[in-house]
Amino acid sequence: MKQTARARLLAAFLPALCILGYALPASADLPPVLANAASTSAKAGSYHVALTETIGSTTVRSVGDVQSLAPAKMHMTTIVGGPSGTVETIVVAPDSYVKTGGAAWKKSSGDAADYAQMNVASMLAKANGDYAITDLGMQLKDGRMLHGYKVVNTTRNSMQTVYLDSAGRFARLEMRSVVMQFSNYGEPLDIKPPM
């Protein structure tokens, strides 16, 4: 049971913290501008994230805040279809709390080691592959001008488009049916256990 709860938590938590780590090559393989973006984004320590995933005719939207530096914290609300409705997740490592619909909060105790590598920089170090990167120049996205880069992993036959803000941090990621938007870097967060 503990392993199942931890697996569910990691499945919810990893996209918010580390999708760029899965999507991009190891920082040694990146051109300097993207390597710097990975470092600058990770050092900010906190950010707001909005994730939208379209699966067929269903759209799942998650919105929340993440503190990626220790202690890892997150408050995320996910709107899904069906009986689940809204799923709210709070993490104050090593514990997590999940509330589905109108049900009461459920606590799962975790292990601090589960969170030790949950940041963009550490995930970038694990990625591998052969990459072709194309500078797309400045583009208007999410109401602001962002610098776009197309990143093709020829080993895994995958492609992502990454956009950086004016401070050189990750601002938007487009990958297949997923769009992630990052903002409010470095702002203080007040995330506490709900119970």
State pLDDT tens for residues 133-160.
Answer: 889 999 999 999 999 999 887 777 778 8
Q: Is residue 191 part of a domain?
A: no
DSSP symbol at 118: -
Q: Which domain holds residue 136?
A: 2-183
Q: What is the pLDDT of residues 31-87, one digit of tens each?
A: 677 778 877 887 888 889 898 888 788 888 889 998 877 778 889 888 876 656 788
Longest dimension (CA), the chain: 48
Q: Is residue 163 part of a domain?
A: yes
What is the pTM assigned to this prediction? 0.77
Long-range contacts formed by 81-87: CB under 8 A, 24+ apart: 87/12
> Any idea what the CATH number is for the domain that residue 42 is in?
2.50.20.20
Q: Is residue 95 part of a domain?
A: yes
Cα–Cα dist 149/173, whole Å: 10
